[in-house]
Amino acid sequence: MPTRPAQHRPTGWKPYKEDTRQVKRRQMRRALPTNSTVWRKMRAAQLAREPLCRACALKSRVTAATDVDHIDGDDANNEPSNWQSLCHPCHSAKTARENGGFGRAAMPQGTYAPFRGDESYPQKPERKGRGEGKS
């Protein structure tokens, strides 16, 4: 049976993994930890109520939802009216937009960028200089 080819990585490379302190600190911000029985039941109820990704539906795509998102970005606001079902790629893009992912500045606390469906994640301006125009 063929074997998988070796993955070439820099010397000393290790995959990113949160340590216990980081996980605890992240979960402390939430009203309910994501691994609690109560949250899992609420998540399952939301995904049963809205099984398709809301953002993909705005783009006329049919995609199964896998994540429950807080619309206003406040992890402590667990009102069902504040939840939306999203697929993982859409949830990651929304979280990156709100939390300053990919090296961008975070939005002020309490504000959120609603997903309109016709937008993609804003790109960084093109760099000038060496290599311009080459693909």
Q: Is residue 69 within a helix (H) or strand (E), and if so which, with residue range?
A: strand 67-70
> What global pTM score does this model have?
0.60
- Alpha carbons within 13 A on the beta-carbon side of 14: 4
How do residues 39-90 score in pLDDT, each as one tens digit?
899 999 999 999 999 999 999 999 999 999 999 888 888 899 999 999 999 9
C-alpha distances (whole Å) from 133 to each of 83, 118, 122, 124 are 44, 28, 21, 16
pLDDT greater than 70 at residue 7: yes
Phi-psi region at 117: left, alpha or beta (left = phi > 0; alpha = psi -120 to 50): left
Q: Kindly report the backbone phi and psi dihedral angles of residue 84, in degrees, each rounded to the nearest multiple of 5, phi listed first.
A: -140, 145
The C-alpha atoms of residue 123 and residue 101 are separated, in whole angstroms, by 12
* Residue 71 contacts residue 84 (beta carbons within 8 Å): yes
Domains of the chain by residue range: 33-100
Locate the DSSP E strands across 1-124: 67-70, 83-86
